[in-house]
Structure 1
Amino acid sequence: MSIASPETLKGLMATYFNEVKGTDRIVSSSYKRILNKTLKMFAVDYPEYECLDNQKKILCTTYPTKIPLPHTASRRDQSSLEELYELYANSSNTRARTRFVVPVMSYKDKMICRSGSVLCCQPTENVKKDSALLKKLKISTVSNFMVYDRSNPSSKILVGLSEKEPEIKHYYSDVKLEKLPIRAVPNLKCFASYNYDFTHYMYKQLETIGFLKPKIDLSQHLVAPNNDQNAPKHINFMKLIELYFERMIQILKDPNETGLLIHCLSGWDRTPLFISMIRLSLWADGLLHSHFSAKEMAYFLVSYDWYLFYHRLRRRLQEKAELIHFVVYMMQFLTDSKFSLNNTPQRVRKLKFEQLYNEFLPGYSSILPLVKINDPPHFKIEC
């Protein structure tokens, strides 16, 4: 097999970095080979999966042309795929950039879904049908990672379902909205300049979080810079990520929760960041993709969660915002039992994340010279 083949992570990263814009990418042979390989890998965990056709009946131009649905998602009440298609199509009309709600994995029959945010000024009928899809997927909680810009009152993006008009809010009354606001891209532009060590990097945008009153109490983690109690307080960026991730694990552990939807504004930066973290945690626990080696897991992570569901890799790397790298880097700090869904020993999780990083790094590093970013240091882990 050629090292430049899309079947290798190095080949995948090269294809990803050089991909053409818009719908032209879906007709390339490399795209089709990556999609077909990813679908075969998806089938290992979901052998009865069905595919939503997103090519002949385009629902979203930045989603895969074939969208695999975990079998539990399509067979909860024996709904036909055509009936489900209509629900997905309406969600496409309701969500930002037509990035509709779609399940991408499951845990104990709980659907874990991703999407863009709900657009403001939606006709009641659209919202009604979008909420019907959430009910079909049994989504009980929405983790919203958006940061709303109060300086832009003309924004067409909804802060959260609770902000909607009462008659529309009614249709989402069965869904709990958890505001977990964070700005990822602006902060990760500093990742390389910190020599890929974010352990002391401070998140300095709490003013964008405070008024949203997130679910988690951050007060005990706030720090006054230079002990100046009059200055705006900051929080460690990785601690904020950790707290948000722990909250999502708590949701998945809760027997009263039936499904989780994760979204940010467009669903292609912060959304895959947290979706990937959940996927990797489930893999380390042996609860999902348990037959995947570290090499296979690295490939599937990049191909499915980022490439096929679209993320502006070239643009983000040119901005030095290394989101995919940060996800794999961050996992070494999420090994404690509170991040595990089945109390997997910490040493086991650490070892698996180390193996994953060592498989991920060579393929990822191969594209960094294209944007003049120095190679990240070799993964170091304390046992």
Structure 2
Amino acid sequence: PQEPGLGELLEEFSRTQYRAKDGSGTGGSKVERIEKRCLELFGRDYCFSVIPNTNGDICGHYPRHIVFLEYESSEKEKDTFESTVQVSKLQDLIHRSKMARCRGRFVCPVILFKGKHICRSATLAGWGELYGRSGYNYFFSGGADDAWADVEDVTEEDCALRSGDTHLFDKVRGYDIKLLRYLSVKYICDLMVENKKVKFGMNVTSSEKVDKAQRYADFTLLSIPYPGCEFFKEYKDRDYMAEGLIFNWKQDYVDAPLSIPDFLTHSLNIDWSQYQCWDLVQQTQNYLKLLLSLVNSDDDSGLLVHCISGWDRTPLFISLLRLSLWADGLIHTSLKPAEILYLTVAYDWFLFGHMLVDRLSKGEEIFFFCFNFLKHITSEEFSALKTQRRKSLPARDGGFTLEDICMLRRKDRGSTTSLGSDFSLVMENSPGATGSFTYEAVELVPAGAPTQAAWRKSHSSSPQSVLWNRPQPSEDRLPSHQGLVEARSSSSSSSNHSDNFFRMGSSPLEVPKPRLAALSDRETR
């Protein structure tokens, strides 16, 4: 059955970026319903504590009710994994460590799997953020997002000397490390394509892999560079065809090579040396396989995934991890398809600050790519199940339809909220708009009329899986892509403004029907 409130969630998401401090303002009742629904869905399978972030006191674009999952609520799992984390100590470490990361987006646990915490965050803050215009006050009083505008081009060492506090860097990153250790995080996966983010002529963020003092040497660092949201303008311009779309790794600002310890790659049978030749589908598939292998290892180590700000690439992989583990019946086991969809859209994307309005206005549709990509991870090779097999269960009835988001109007207002661009475009709800942005439904099993899409979860003799099924579009609508196309993605998305924002005809979900021959257990779900 259709998830009640899904349409309202998408409408609110497409209207404005979530801000914790605005929760009780315009649209506050809608946001409160979304927050309450997320807590209800988490509570179906987990015992959890809530870390209050009222008015964005900890982070302005993290949920007002940050969920800390302690253990699965079933008696079997409760006896298997016992939480070793004291929530009061966790809160203290969060407050002390938030200065260490970009925009105060601290390390936050969001998925619990086999007693391990899968976490998300932004990358490390650099001196530009700490000591830029009002930067120091920003971190202590929760001020404006862009604390580093109009600052001099100075080195970290210069800043340290001028500040008179050479120990601040050690202090804030020291608390960040304590938080990581307290959550038993061992693996840190960095999605940045650069070692340090440069803005206004200086380094405004850094990353663990280039920390000069080697403070993060005790962690297993994985540099898995992945294109930023600007690249997904190319995806939209190719009629939402990710096959054959290759990132341009030769751009000047791209200086972070892929780096994965050898002992983590042996079992995956992937030629990592060819990563610059992979298209967007292959790259996302291989990175997801890597993340799944990390969380499914035999040790009890947790995982951190981050990009720069942690609200584009990070939710993409957090959402894919959550959906893939759910598809195997390993997490959120009581949730139906519409419910897990609601949870990941609301919590992983909306409440953690993804700027859907801004991204849509520029055609940077990484949010849509996430769900359109599910058809590429239906096979058993993406299953986290090793030897055990789920018993055959009857197929569930019903599906759901993703409703049209809402009428939108484009407004060209510049800002510097995006670290990956020179300006951002803001859109607002306009019932009188002449165009409309439509998310047609996601279909995973045929459900009635051919034009209606539905996502249905059924169970078969083993790992569950997601199966996409759309009516085959006419041949003249499919873009020609013989060979691989290398897309040139600029580091600045200011040139990526789309004058054809409203989709008038082609729907992003009108994609070729997958081959249905010889379906695996995971695919038949």
TM-score range, shorter chain: 0.7 to 0.9
Given that 2:14 and 2:406 are in contact with CA atoms closer than 8 Å, whether structure 1 keeps it comes out as no
Given that 1:182 and 1:209 are in contact with CA atoms closer than 8 Å, whether structure 2 keeps it comes out as no
Q: Distance in 1 between matches of 2:310 and 2:66?
A: 16
Counterpart in the other structure of 1:77: 84
Counterpart in the other structure of 1:173: 217
TM-score, length of structure 1 as denominator length = 0.83
Query: 2:204 is paired with a residue of what secondary structure?
Result: coil
Counterpart in the other structure of 1:201: 245
Counterpart in the other structure of 1:372: 502
Residue by residue over 1:217-262, the C-alpha shift from the partner in whole angstroms, topping out at 9 and shown as x without a partner, is 543465xxxxxxxxxxx43121111111111111112213510000
Cα separation, partners in 2 of 1:110 and 1:363, compared to 1, 3 Å = farther
1:97 has 2:103 as partner: yes
* Percentage identity across paired residues of the two chains: 26
Name the aligned partner's letter for residue 103 of structure 1.
P
Residue by residue over 1:325-380, the C-alpha shift from the partner in whole angstroms, topping out at 9 and shown as x without a partner, is 1111112111232211005999x9xxx9xx99x84644558878145134323463
Give the alignment partner of residue 264 of structure 1, picking from 294, 299, 307: 307
Given that 2:23 and 2:31 are in contact with CA atoms closer than 8 Å, whether structure 1 keeps it comes out as yes
Query: In proportion to residue count, which structure has more helix?
Result: 1
- The CA deviation at 1:29 is 0.8
Counterpart in the other structure of 2:257: 212
Q: Distance in 1 between matches of 2:274 and 2:197?
A: 28
| Aligned Cα root-mean-square deviation (Å) | 3.1
TM-score, length of structure 2 as denominator length = 0.62
Q: Distance in 1 between matches of 2:405 and 2:321?
A: 21
Give the alignment partner of residue 313 of structure 1, picking from 339, 347, 356: 356
Name the aligned partner's letter for residue 96 of structure 2.
N
Query: 1:156 is paired with a residue of what secondary structure?
Result: strand
- The CA deviation at 1:195 is 2.0
1:155 has 2:222 as partner: no
- The CA deviation at 1:193 is 2.4
Counterpart in the other structure of 1:63: 62
Counterpart in the other structure of 2:416: none
Name the aligned partner's letter for residue 76 of structure 1.
S
Cα separation, partners in 2 of 1:360 and 1:237, compared to 1, 3 Å = farther
Given that 2:94 and 2:106 are in contact with CA atoms closer than 8 Å, whether structure 1 keeps it comes out as yes
Cα separation, partners in 2 of 1:21 and 1:343, compared to 1, 3 Å = closer
Give the alignment partner of residue 184 of structure 1, picking from 228, 236, 248: 228
Given that 1:246 and 1:339 are in contact with CA atoms closer than 8 Å, whether structure 2 keeps it comes out as yes
Q: Distance in 1 between matches of 2:5 and 2:355?
A: 20
Q: Distance in 2 between matches of 1:274 and 1:331?
A: 12
- The CA deviation at 1:165 is 2.5
1:126 has 2:172 as partner: yes
Give the alignment partner of residue 141 of structure 1, picking from 172, 176, 187: 187
1:341 has 2:393 as partner: no
Q: Distance in 2 between matches of 1:138 and 1:291?
A: 27
- The CA deviation at 1:282 is 0.6
Q: Distance in 2 between matches of 1:275 and 1:184?
A: 15
Give the gaps of 5 or more residues in structure 2.
73-80, 128-167, 266-270, 409-434, 438-500, 517-525
Counterpart in the other structure of 1:30: 30
Query: 1:71 is paired with a residue of what secondary structure?
Result: strand
- The CA deviation at 1:97 is 0.5
Query: 2:436 is paired with a residue of what secondary structure?
Result: helix
Given that 1:7 and 1:37 are in contact with CA atoms closer than 8 Å, whether structure 2 keeps it comes out as no
More displaced 10-residue stretch of structure 1: 174-183 or 15-24: 15-24
Given that 1:264 and 1:270 are in contact with CA atoms closer than 8 Å, whether structure 2 keeps it comes out as yes
Cα separation, partners in 2 of 1:303 and 1:212, compared to 1, 3 Å = same
Name the aligned partner's letter for residue 44 of structure 1.
R
Query: 1:17 is paired with a residue of what secondary structure?
Result: helix
Counterpart in the other structure of 1:228: none
Q: Distance in 1 between matches of 2:350 and 2:239?
A: 26
Given that 2:6 and 2:402 are in contact with CA atoms closer than 8 Å, whether structure 1 keeps it comes out as no
Counterpart in the other structure of 2:278: 235
Name the aligned partner's letter for residue 30 of structure 2.
S
Counterpart in the other structure of 2:346: 303
Give the alignment partner of residue 9 of structure 1, picking from 2, 6, 27: 6
Counterpart in the other structure of 2:463: none
Given that 2:115 and 2:300 are in contact with CA atoms closer than 8 Å, whether structure 1 keeps it comes out as no
Name the aligned partner's letter for residue 83 of structure 2.
R
Given that 1:192 and 1:373 are in contact with CA atoms closer than 8 Å, whether structure 2 keeps it comes out as no
Cα separation, partners in 2 of 1:220 and 1:263, compared to 1, 3 Å = closer
Q: Distance in 1 between matches of 2:197 and 2:53?
A: 36
Given that 2:18 and 2:353 are in contact with CA atoms closer than 8 Å, whether structure 1 keeps it comes out as no
Cα separation, partners in 2 of 1:344 and 1:194, compared to 1, 3 Å = farther
Given that 2:126 and 2:205 are in contact with CA atoms closer than 8 Å, whether structure 1 keeps it comes out as yes
Cα separation, partners in 2 of 1:365 and 1:20, compared to 1, 3 Å = closer
Q: Distance in 2 between matches of 1:185 and 1:209?
A: 14
Given that 1:7 and 1:34 are in contact with CA atoms closer than 8 Å, whether structure 2 keeps it comes out as no
Give the gaps of 5 or more residues in structure 1.
223-233
Q: Distance in 1 between matches of 2:220 and 2:183?
A: 14
Residue by residue over 1:297-336, the C-alpha shift from the partner in whole angstroms, topping out at 9 and shown as x without a partner, is 2211111101111100000011111122111111211123
Q: Distance in 2 between matches of 1:253 and 1:37?
A: 29
- The CA deviation at 1:72 is 4.3
Given that 2:247 and 2:279 are in contact with CA atoms closer than 8 Å, whether structure 1 keeps it comes out as yes
How many residues matched? Answer: 355
